[in-house]
């Protein structure tokens, strides 16, 4: 987004367990992997075509 390469991590399916459905930003350095904050106001990340989403559209989403 905005000319920067950012990495995201998500769990696509976890049988029989509740899990976080957000896509978290992560980084890897000499000390290991570090999880950051969830991506917000962005769609199409998993399809490889991220686009900024207007904040108002999130009001209509539901957690399933």
What pLDDT digit, counting tens, does each position of 15-40 carry?
Answer: 787 777 888 999 999 999 999 999 88
**pLDDT for the residue 48:** 80
* Exposed e or buried b per residue across 15-52, where buried means at least 16 C-beta atoms within 10 angstroms of its C-beta: eeeeeeeebeeeeeeeeeeeeeeebeeeeeeeeeebee
Residue the block writes with tokens 């990340």: 45
Bridge partners of 27, per DSSP, are: 34
Cα 44 to Cα 26, 28, 34, 55, 62: the distances in Å are 17, 23, 23, 15, 17
Residue 55 confidence class, pLDDT cut points 50, 70, 90: low
């Amino acid at each position: 987004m905005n000319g920067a390469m950012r990495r995201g991590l998500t769990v696509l399916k976890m049988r029989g367990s509740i899990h976080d459905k957000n896509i978290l930003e992560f980084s890897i350095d000499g000390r290991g992997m570090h999880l950051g904050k969830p991506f917000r106001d962005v769609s199409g990340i998993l399809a490889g075509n991220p686009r900024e989403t207007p904040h108002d559209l999130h009001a209509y989403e539901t957690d399933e």
